[in-house]
């Protein structure tokens, strides 16, 4: 079995170091993490641009912003009423209880994650994205790309917590590494390991269980 750190090195050699999450501030990362639920990043970017133009991307400004105005600004991201409410809930919570993100993030990873998961609309992936990219604490984000790629390469089908534990047990606990490795999964998922995979040219195909079984099936049919 391909060691996970070698898996990472192969992807890093293909795509280079990826400076991801694309954002200008921690608040913007949080906004993106909430708005990207059930939305393409292209549409999320439009909503973020609206918020930037309105100069409201801060904990205090979003907490105090009229909900109807916020709905209008985030409309491009889809499900805008639900997302505006979730964004308000998050920022209200931080502002009313901690005033600043520094105060909110000033706790250990487990405590922060537990608190985030209690907020309406914040699931495991959203919470872990905020912890890794905004709070800059080492926790591995599991998304659809990660699940698909791990299942195809290793033949392992696991739920969120199992897969997170598997990855974190195999590589060094390091925020920079976690960020870049997650970004590498996303890049491979977009380029090769799509719903309908483009296996030829994939840097991992010689190690991939899915690719091997597909080729074996072709040879058997011949």
Contacts 24+ apart (CB under 8 A), 128-134: 128/164, 129/21, 129/29, 129/33, 130/29, 130/30, 130/33, 132/175, 132/178, 132/179, 132/182, 133/21, 133/23, 133/29, 133/33, 133/179, 134/26, 134/27, 134/29, 134/30, 134/33, 134/101, 134/105
Domains held by the chain: number? 2
Query: Of 87, 112, 134, which residue constitutes the final position of a domain?
Result: 134
Residues 123 and 148 in one domain: no
Q: What is the CATH number of the domain that holds 73?
A: 1.10.340.30
Tens digit of each residue's pLDDT, the chain (222 residues): 899 999 999 999 999 999 888 788 999 999 999 999 999 999 999 999 999 999 999 999 999 999 999 999 999 999 999 999 999 999 999 999 999 999 999 999 999 999 999 999 999 999 999 999 999 999 999 999 999 999 999 999 999 999 999 999 999 999 999 999 999 999 999 999 999 999 999 999 999 999 998 876 555 444
Query: Of 108, 134, 160, which residue constitutes the final position of a domain?
Result: 134
Residues 90 and 108 in one domain: yes
Query: Of 99, 119, 134, which residue constitutes the final position of a domain?
Result: 134
Q: What is the CATH number of the domain that holds 199?
A: 1.10.1670.10
Q: Can you give the residue range of the structural domain that contains 58?
A: 26-134
Residues 183 and 120 in one domain: no
Whether pTM > 0.85 for this model: the answer is: yes
């Amino acid at each position: 079995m391909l060691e996970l750190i070698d898996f990472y090195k192969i992807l890093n050699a293909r795509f280079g170091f990826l400076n991801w999450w694309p954002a200008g501030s921690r608040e913007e990362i949080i906004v993106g993490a909430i708005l990207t639920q059930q939305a393409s990043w292209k549409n999320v970017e439009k909503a973020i641009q609206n918020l930037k133009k309105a100069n409201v991307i801060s904990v205090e400004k979003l907490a105090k912003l009229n909900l109807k105005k916020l709905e209008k600004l985030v409309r491009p991201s889809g499900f805008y009423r639900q997302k505006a409410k979730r964004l308000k809930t998050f920022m209200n919570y931080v502002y009313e209880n901690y005033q600043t993100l520094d105060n909110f993030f000033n706790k250990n990873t487990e405590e922060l994650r537990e608190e985030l998961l209690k907020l309406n609309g914040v699931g495991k992936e959203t919470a872990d994205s905020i912890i890794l990219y905004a709070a800059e604490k080492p926790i591995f984000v599991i998304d659809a790309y990660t699940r698909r790629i791990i299942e195809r390469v290793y033949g392992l089908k696991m739920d969120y917590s199992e897969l997170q534990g598997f990855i974190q047990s195999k590589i060094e606990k390091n925020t920079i590494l976690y960020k870049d490795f997650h970004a590498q999964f996303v890049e491979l998922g977009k380029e090769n390991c799509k719903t309908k995979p483009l296996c030829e040219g994939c840097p991992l195909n010689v190690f991939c269980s899915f690719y091997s079984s597909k080729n074996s099936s072709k040879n058997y049919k011949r």
